[in-house]
Chain A
Amino acid sequence: MNLAAQAAQTAQSPGFLSPSGVEVAFLLVGLVTLGAAVVSVTTKQLVHAALWLVVALGGLAVEYLLLTAEFIAWVQVLIYVGSVVVLLLFGLMLTKAPIGRSPDADSANRPVALAVATAAAAALVWVVADAFRTTWIELDGPARGTTGVTGEILFRHWVLPFEALSVLLLAALVGAIVLSRKKPEGERD
């Protein structure tokens, strides 16, 4: 893609001071998502963290919808909110995670982590904002990610990776079962 042509095309695109409705919605949902994510990684209550993660992932699903990627959005809801978070909750329960506030939820590495994350955020935001200041996404026209479109390209152009992925999933399935199987007494691994 010719970035120069793109830049020229978007030169007269609307500025940030007059946001469109989609943008306002995106911004609000984005703030909620970000806030939920921040709470999720900072809260002292482990189960709350998983629930806040649901909020964040759900917010992301809404963002996908706003970006006209419907299929992805529903997959996000189904897989992440529906299964991954449930799995995580199960994991928390199986490892006897304490209910309620646990003061040692964060490790001693926290200041370093904060510094690294802040620096990374600053650098990334600076670069991204600098690079895509004027780039405009044209959301009008046919939706990009309807189920029909997605299914068509997935089974027309991406069949081979899709099948390979199925093998990967199978392997992961077998692996997870083998790992979590309880050994008979006396047998050590």
Chain B
Amino acid sequence: MTTTTLAVLVPLLPFLGAAAGLAVGRTAPGFVRPLAVLPTLAAAVLAVLVAVRQGGNTVIEASTELTPTGSVPLTLGLHIDGFAALVAVLVGVVASCVQIYSTGYLRDDPRYPSYAALVSLFTAAMLLVVYSGDLMVLLVGWEIMGICSYFLVGHHWETPEARSASLKAFLVTKLGDVPFLFGLFALAADAGTFRIDGILATVASGGLDHPTVVALLLLAGVAGKSAQFPLHTWLPDAMAGPTPVSALIHAATMVAAGIYFVARLLPVFAASAAALTVLAVTAAVTMVGSALAALAQDDIKRVLAYSTIGQLGYMAGALAVGDRGAALFHLLSHAAFKALLFLAAGAVIHAAGTNSLTAMSRTGGLAKRIPDAYWTMTVALLALAAIPPFAGFFSKEAVLVAAEHTALGDRPGVPAGAGWTVLAAGLLTALLTAAYALRLWLRAFRGRGAEAPDHGRQPIAMTSVLWVLAVPSLGFGLGAFVLDDWFDGEPLTPTLTTAVLGTGLAVAGGAVTYAVWRTLAARAVPAAPAPHVAHPDADAGLVEAEALHLPHPAEDPADPGRALLGPLHGPAADGFRLDALYARAFVRPVLAAASLVRFLDREVVDTYVRGAAGTAKGLGWLVRRAQTGNVQTYLSALLAGSVVLAIAAVALANAFAGA
């Protein structure tokens, strides 16, 4: 098979798997698991094959125009460069891991068939986005991901949190998608095509008329999808979905789509210094804010969600300084260790019977009971905190190096201010990241107190996947020496200054957190154990869904995050009250408008409707009066009518004859 055929099969296989899964899900439950896992696995293998054949530096272009579509042609096209090939491999691998993990995690879930099909569909959409050479086709995948994430986040739709979270995820990303669509149209109008290579050629020849407007419009969509400030609020709430969904959507694929999109079209953004500055500021605010918020969260998955936002901020920062190689490198390594973190967190929640860190800190023996999750999560947290030699260290260093280069003016066309902003925010975030990673680890695995009720052994499908993902979390950093060929060719290796600075700050953050934790733990009085879900032999997914309902324990004085943040803790725990601000700025006006519309509909429009009905009824009443049953009356009316007609006819005839 040619590489093009293989590449076409990559998004097609999960799509067919999803269709087949939906078709036979009810009638043949035995086929659901193979149909969920095998196509995704095959797509991953094919993606690896495509990447190997593509080899990194040859761009594969293939396109076919199905039908003429007017002035701006639409094509079904592939555009596979090094970025696309590698991201596709990543998506395939993570999706396969998630599918395998889900077979254990949602073992007894009655909605597993539709869930698995939606995950497959989601994977197909993401692969389509990755491989597509045409922006309209990319948009199709982009929107399918949006709707799939809506369904998947709302998997536990019996709970109000999941319902509102899925709606919020959908609406907030759509809020970004509207300007995104306009941006695409503006871009295509300038370039005369939706083809990515055509657009890049136009940009290279300076044919773009309004780069700033286009770039800013596109950035809105990117901010929505990749959860960048100020459209990031949906991501923490979306943790109401099942954990594997969080791992797939909110770590490896959908949020990465925004970054990937900017990376693809980086020349468009680079054409506008203003857009890059906006992106840099957004990334910096996102990074620092989300790291602070992560330090204050009590829900283990919300900590991970905010850390995802922060890491996406790193990627956006790398893009803002014009180095997409660093951004994609961090995307790849982050996807691996963040997927691992989420999946391990699922195992932790299952074992602990709660998602509250405070409750876990009052529970002992968690680490011993789930050694797989414990060790892999330790690896992943080290990677997150960017401790060498884990993957996160190298990729974050690549970002910081790129920012440093830009700040020092080594990169023409990109404002140095953006570089300084990203560099400063990145270093500060490195400190905070290490602090919250260590806090998470300490609170989850170094708790003291009675053991949580046992939920049975975790299935092999869940634990094995953790080790699979631990490998890239551990060793992917070595890619820094190889991968530059696949990207733009800029070096991804760490430099001494940033490495020392970043690692030093991370170690400092970790050390301070540890010291505070020790002090507080020594001082703390033993608190009452927090409530747990006690559900022997239950599905992991079920335990998690029930854990969503548990009340979170009240303010815990032994929380190092509280001591570190001080007065900032309250706002940070609330996500800096952005939700309240949005509620006041957008939700309330919309609700008021809705009630106005409701009033208009009920009182004004309905009056017309009722009036129409009443008029007809009244007329009917009048006509009914005529139905006396008296034949003479009928005949009188008939003859009177005839007489009138006859007189009218004669009078008219006379009038015409006279005229």
Q: Point out residues on A near B: beta carbons under 8 Å.
A: 107, 109, 112-113, 115-116, 119-120, 123, 126-127
Contact = CB atoms under 8 A, between A and B. Distances in A.
A123 B643 contact: yes
16 contacts: A107-B632, A109-B632, A109-B633, A109-B636, A112-B633, A112-B636, A112-B640, A116-B640, A116-B643, A119-B640, A120-B639, A120-B643, A123-B643, A123-B650, A126-B650, A127-B650
| Binding site secondary structure of chain B | helix
A126 B643 CA distance: 13
Nearest to B654: A130
B632 A119 contact: no
Interface string B638-659: 0110010011001000000000
B627 interface: no
Interface of B: 630, 632-633, 636, 639-640, 643, 646-647, 650
Nearest to B650: A127
Contacts of A127: 650
Contact of A113 (B632, B643, B647): B632
| Binding site secondary structure of chain A | helix
A123 B647 CA distance: 6
A157 B639 CA distance: 36
Nearest to B644: A119
Contacts of A126: 650
A123 B643 CA distance: 8
Nearest to B633: A109
Closest 7 CB pairs of A and B: A109-B632, A112-B636, A116-B640, A119-B643, A120-B643, A123-B647, A116-B639
Contacts of B647: 119, 123
Nearest to A119: B643
Contacts of A109: 630, 632-633, 636
A41 B266 CA distance: 104
B33 to A, nearest CB: 76
B636 A116 contact: yes
A109 B633 CA distance: 7
Contacts of B646: 123
Contacts of B636: 109, 112-113, 116
Residue of B630, B643, B650 with highest tally of chain A CB at under 10 A: B643
A170 to B, nearest CB: 29
Contacts of A107: 630, 632
Nearest to A108: B630
A160 B380 CA distance: 113
A87 B349 CA distance: 106
A116 B638 CA distance: 10
B656 to A, nearest CB: 15
Contacts of B640: 112, 115-116, 119
Contacts of A123: 643, 646-647, 650
Nearest to B632: A109
Contacts of B650: 123, 126-127
A107 B639 CA distance: 17
Residue of A107, A109, A113, A116 with highest tally of chain B CB at under 10 A: A116
A112 B626 CA distance: 14
Contacts of B643: 116, 119-120, 123
Contacts of A119: 640, 643, 647
Nearest to A127: B650
A175 B639 CA distance: 29
A119 B643 CA distance: 7
A137 to B, nearest CB: 24
Nearest to A111: B636
A98 to B, nearest CB: 20
A113 B647 CA distance: 17
Nearest to A124: B646
Given A113-B632, A119-B647, A127-B650, 6 more contacts: A107-B630, A107-B632, A109-B632, A112-B640, A116-B639, A123-B646
Contacts of A120: 639, 643
Nearest to B638: A116
Nearest to B630: A109
A73 B576 CA distance: 114
Contacts of A112: 633, 636, 640
A116 to B, nearest CB: 5
B368 to A, nearest CB: 97
Contacts of B639: 116, 120
Residue of A107, A115, A123 with highest tally of chain B CB at under 10 A: A123
A116 B643 CA distance: 8
Contacts of B633: 109, 112
A174 B646 CA distance: 39
A120 to B, nearest CB: 5
A126 B646 CA distance: 12
A119 B630 CA distance: 22
A107 B630 CA distance: 10
A180 to B, nearest CB: 21
Contacts of B630: 107, 109
B442 to A, nearest CB: 100
Contacts of A113: 632, 636
Nearest to B653: A127
A118 to B, nearest CB: 10
A119 B640 CA distance: 8
A113 B633 CA distance: 9
Nearest to A126: B650
A127 B632 CA distance: 26
